[in-house]
Amino acid sequence: MSVLNELLEYQKVDAELRKVEQEISATPERKKYVQAKKFMKTAAEKLDIQDNRAKELRRTAQELTRRYMEISKSLSEFAGVDEMVDGGGDVTFYKRNAQALADSLRALKGEINKLIAAIESACDEYKKLKEQTIVMQKQYKEYSEKYTEVKNSRAAEVAEITARMKAIEKKIPAEILAKYTAKRNERIFPVLAALKDGRCVCGMDFPIAQQGRLSDGNVIECEHCHRLIYKAEA
């Protein structure tokens, strides 16, 4: 049997393996497992974001506290304003300063309200994240076990198909098998496709000069879909 025929036989058996893989992938057990696994991978990242946000809110709170203390100190200076006015102090000056402090207090109050809203929002998000994490931890553990059971239930079938593929592999040159495997890993399937009416299965036209290279069981790579194209026997 030619190398091309061996490759086609290998692909035929590989199609059986691919069918089993797809059936396993489509099970609700795997979908739930993958969902939980994906969440768990990003959970640490999300917690880091929450932690950085908490630090920023803490810095904002410290800054607002500092500004509040400064305004409080300035206000304390107005405790003896009557005596200062009686002593010849400029009333307009005191009024202007008082107005500036009132404006600062109003602005500070607005920033404090924003900070309170941001803290409440951060607390809500953290609570939701914590609840989701607990749920996903349980789901990950449960469906990891169930997914393993699903794979184990098809293990004998996979082993039998794999054994047949291994037997055929021995008849295929290593460099050709490596090229097939690389394309299979790139999710290209079928890897080998017959040229039909001068076209690849993806619709790509092959010039006559290229078609001539397909004699004697040779294969060429499609520039569009990267499958290995061969000429079917008449």
> Could you read off the pLDDT of 103-125 as tens digits, one per residue?
787 888 888 888 888 888 888 88
Task: Name the CA radius of gyration of the chain, rounded.
Answer: 36
What integer is the mean pLDDT of 31-45?
A: 89
pLDDT tens-digit readout, 7-26: 999 999 999 999 999 999 99
What integer is the mean pLDDT of 203-209?
A: 89
- Residue 149: pLDDT above 70? yes
pLDDT tens-digit readout, 166-199: 999 999 999 999 999 999 999 999 999 999 988 9
Domains recognised in the chain with CATH numbers: 24-162 (1.10.287), 173-230 (no CATH)
